[in-house]
Amino acid sequence: MVGIIMGSLSDRKVMQLAADALTELGISYEMEIVSAHRTPERMLEYGASARSRGLRVIIAGAGGAAHLPGMVASLTSLPVIGVPVLSSNSIDGWDSVLSILQMPAGVPVATVALDGARNAGILAAQIIGASDEAVAKRLDAFKESLKEKVAVMNEELKNQLGN
């Protein structure tokens, strides 16, 4: 249902967070390396065939120049979520953030925070949940669990403060 792509194997640690979020929410995904610069033909094929292969959202992570999310978005009408990845050749991640964020009119890419793949997975689930009631219910339960985690943290804080 969701395609997770990245430019390099070094992006896997970050992009795994999107996969983990999708797994927690019961959403299937595929994960592949699709480099905009090293395998442009593969990128073209991936983007052009995404809908016919049953994908509903694409999460694309890239560092440095970070062309992958925008280029894939230019090839499909599916929603694309870009994850800027702090890479070894990055300028504190700003190059990646701005490359994904500053898309021209007509080629939108939803962009999450630097290394924010977990939120990309949750956002992909929310996009799917807008038309899939079962996913929406799992998301509602997830949101409730966030409230419960804050309540537990509040109790821990009170205990630490001796209140």
From the annotation, which residues make up the binding site?
A: 8, 11, 38
How far apart CA 67 and CA 35 sit, in angstroms, is 9
Residue numbers belonging to the annotated binding site for substrate: 8, 11, 38
3-state secondary structure 35-92: CCCCCHHHHHHHHHHCCCCCCCEEEEEEECCCCHHHHHHCCCCCCEEEEEECCCCCCC
CA angle 42, 115, 54 (to 5 degrees): 40
- For 78, 79, 91, the CA distances from 104, given in Å and listed in that order, are 17, 15, 22
